[in-house]
C-alpha cells in the first residue's frame, strides 16, 4: 500500500469504488493512473479538478482510474521533486494545471509519459510542443494565453475609471513568462496613456507587505495579474485591497465571487473539463502528439456590485452592458 497523505488522493469513478490499495490493484488489473502535478493547492483547486474529472469520465465511459496528485502550494521550487515522486508511481498520464512551471517540470522529467498541460504562455516558445496543430512528442494541452489577457484587463479598468491615470500592477517575479506578461501590460498602458506602478510578490511574507506597498503609492486602481500563486492566496489579496478601498481587477470569477470588484478572463471550469477529455482520449489510445494545442473561446466579465457599493464606485453603463454576470 502506498503511504497515506492528505496530498495523495486515490479515486475510482462511475461505480463509486474507492481504491485504497493502489499498488496491489495495479498489479492485478490494468487501471490507469493519472498523475496531477500542480503549482496550486489541493483546496483551491478542488472545483477545477472536479471539472477535469467530468471530462475524463466522459471519455473513459465507465472504466475505473486512479488519481495521484502532488501540490506545490505556490512554491515552484518543489516541482522537480514532486514530479520525480509522481513518476515513481508509474502514471499512464500527467496532467499539469497551474501554468508553465508545472508543465515545464513534467516535460523536463519525462519524454515518454503523455502530458496534458494548461499554461498561460506560448507552448511553442516554451519548448513544450513543436507546433500548435501538430505538437509532436509526448505533450499537448491548452494555452490559455493569460499573459495576453492582461492588456484586456487594463482596458476594462480604463473603461471602469475613465479619469484614472495611475494603475498598480501586481506581478509574481518568479513566473516563467513574467517579462512577457509585464510587457503586454506596459504596451497597453502606452496606448491608453496610463502610468503603471509595478508591485512584486512571490511569497506569503511579501504579500503581507502588500498593504504597505499600496499605501505608499498614489494608485487609482490595481491590476492583479494571472499567476497560480495569487490564485492560492486570493482571499488574502482581496481582503488587503478591500481595506484600501481600491478598485481592482482579477483574472477569474473566483475572485469576484469572493468579494473582488471585477474579473475578466477565461472560463477555467470549461478549460479543465476539456483538458479532462484530452486526457481520456490519450488513455484510450490517441497519440498526444497529434492532438492540437487548444485555446479558449469562452470569456467572462463578472462584476461584484456589492463590492462596488462598498467602495462607493458607480459602474459605467458601458461596462455593465458587457458583463456576463452581475453579483448583486
- pLDDT tens per residue, range 233-257: 999 999 999 999 999 999 999 999 9
pLDDT beyond 90 at 296: no
Give residue 53's pLDDT: 98
CATH class for the domain made up of 146-266+299-327: alpha beta
Burial letters 265-301, b for 16+ CB under 10 A, else e: bbbbbbbbbbbbbbbbbbbeeeebeebebbebeeebb
Please state, in angstroms and rounded to a whole number, the distance separating the CA atoms of residues 268 and 193.
31
Tell me the pLDDT tens digit for each residue of 216-238.
998 999 999 999 899 999 999 99
- Whole-structure pTM value: 0.80
| Domain residue ranges in the chain | 22-144+268-290, 146-266+299-327
> Under a CB-based contact definition with an 8 Å cutoff, are residues 135 and 289 in contact?
yes
Please state, in angstroms and rounded to a whole number, the distance separating the CA atoms of residues 163 and 180.
27
pLDDT beyond 50 at 18: no
Give residue 322's pLDDT: 95
Please state, in angstroms and rounded to a whole number, the distance separating the CA atoms of residues 41 and 36.
11
Q: Quick check: helix, strand or coil at residue 293?
A: coil
> Under a CB-based contact definition with an 8 Å cutoff, are residues 65 and 283 in contact?
yes
Indicate the pLDDT class of residue 120, thresholds 50, 70 and 90.
Answer: confident
Tell me the pLDDT tens digit for each residue of 67-107.
999 999 999 999 999 999 999 999 999 999 988 899 999 99
* DSSP code for 316: P
232 Cβ contact partners less than 8 Å away, ≥ 6 residues apart: 40, 41, 44, 73, 74
For 216, counting Cβ atoms within 10 Å of its Cβ (0-12 exposed, 13-18 middle, 19+ buried), the class is exposed
Q: First and final CA of the chain: distance in angstroms?
A: 50
Tell me the pLDDT tens digit for each residue of 37-69.
999 999 989 999 999 999 999 999 989 999 999
Give residue 87's pLDDT: 98
- Tell me which CATH code domain 22-144+268-290 carries: 3.40.50.2300
Q: Quick check: helix, strand or coil at residue 315?
A: coil
pLDDT beyond 80 at 15: no
Indicate the pLDDT class of residue 27, thresholds 50, 70 and 90.
Answer: very low
Instruction: Quote the Cα angle for 96-98-102, to 5°.
Output: 50
Among left, alpha and beta (phi > 0; psi -120 to 50; other), residue 274 is: alpha
Query: Do 146-266+299-327 and 22-144+268-290 fall under one CATH topology?
Result: yes
Tell me the pLDDT tens digit for each residue of 301-318.
999 999 999 999 999 999
Which of these, 277, 34, 307, lies nearest to 160 by C-alpha position? Answer: 307
Please state, in angstroms and rounded to a whole number, the distance separating the CA atoms of residues 284 and 276.
12
Which of these, 71, 81, 77, lies nearest to 202 by C-alpha position? Answer: 77
Query: To the nearest whole percent, how much of the chain has pLDDT over 70?
Result: 91
Query: What's the mean per-residue pLDDT of the chain?
Result: 89
Indicate the pLDDT class of residue 177, thresholds 50, 70 and 90.
Answer: confident
Give residue 305's pLDDT: 98
- For the CA atoms of 53, 55, 60, 64, the dihedral, rounded to the nearest 10 degrees, stands at 10
Give residue 16's pLDDT: 31
* DSSP code for 325: E
Residue 103 CB: number of other CB atoms within 10 A? 31
Amino acid at each position: 500500500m502506498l503511504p497515506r497523505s492528505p496530498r495523495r488522493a486515490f479515486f475510482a469513478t462511475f461505480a463509486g469504488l474507492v481504491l485504497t490499495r493502489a499498488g496491489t490493484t495495479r498489479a492485478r488489473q490494468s487501471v490507469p493512473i493519472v498523475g496531477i502535478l500542480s503549482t496550486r493547492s489541493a483546496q483551491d483547486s478542488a472545483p477545477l479538478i472536479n471539472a477535469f474529472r467530468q471530462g475524463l469520465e466522459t471519455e473513459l465511459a465507465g472504466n475505473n482510474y486512479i488519481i495521484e496528485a502532488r501540490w506545490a502550494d505556490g512554491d515552484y521550487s518543489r516541482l522537480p521533486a514532486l514530479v520525480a515522486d509522481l513518476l515513481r508511481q508509474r502514471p499512464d498520464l500527467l496532467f499539469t494545471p497551474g501554468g508553465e512551471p508545472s508543465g515545464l517540470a513534467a516535460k523536463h522529467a519525462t519524454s515518454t509519459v503523455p502530458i496534458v498541460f494548461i499554461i498561460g504562455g506560448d507552448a511553442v516558445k516554451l519548448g513544450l510542443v513543436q507546433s500548435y496543430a501538430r505538437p509532436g512528442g509526448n505533450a499537448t494541452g491548452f494555452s490559455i494565453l493569460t499573459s495576453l489577457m492582461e492588456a484586456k484587463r487594463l482596458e476594462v479598468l480604463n473603461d471602469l475609471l475613465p479619469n484614472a491615470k495611475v494603475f498598480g500592477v501586481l506581478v509574481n517575479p518568479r513566473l516563467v513568462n513574467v517579462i512577457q506578461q509585464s510587457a503586454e501590460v506596459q504596451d497597453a498602458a502606452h496606448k491608453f496613456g496610463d502610468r503603471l506602478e509595478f508591485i512584486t510578490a512571490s511569497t506569503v511574507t511579501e504579500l503581507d507587505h502588500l498593504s504597505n506597498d499600496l499605501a505608499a503609492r498614489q494608485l487609482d486602481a490595481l491590476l492583479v495579474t494571472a499567476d497560480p500563486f495569487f490564485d492560492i492566496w486570493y482571499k488574502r489579496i482581496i481582503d488587503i485591497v478591500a481595506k484600501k478601498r481600491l478598485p481592482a481587477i482579477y483574472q477569474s470569477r473566483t475572485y469576484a465571487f469572493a468579494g473582488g470588484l471585477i474579473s475578466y478572463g477565461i472560463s477555467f471550469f470549461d478549460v479543465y473539463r476539456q483538458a479532462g477529455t484530452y486526457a481520456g482520449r490519450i488513455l484510450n489510445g490517441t497519440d498526444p502528439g497529434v492532438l492540437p494545442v487548444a485555446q479558449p473561446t469562452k470569456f467572462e466579465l463578472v462584476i461584484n456590485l456589492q463590492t462596488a457599493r462598498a467602495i462607493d464606485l458607480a459602474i459605467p453603463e458601458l461596462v455593465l452592458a458587457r458583463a456576463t454576470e452581475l453579483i448583486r
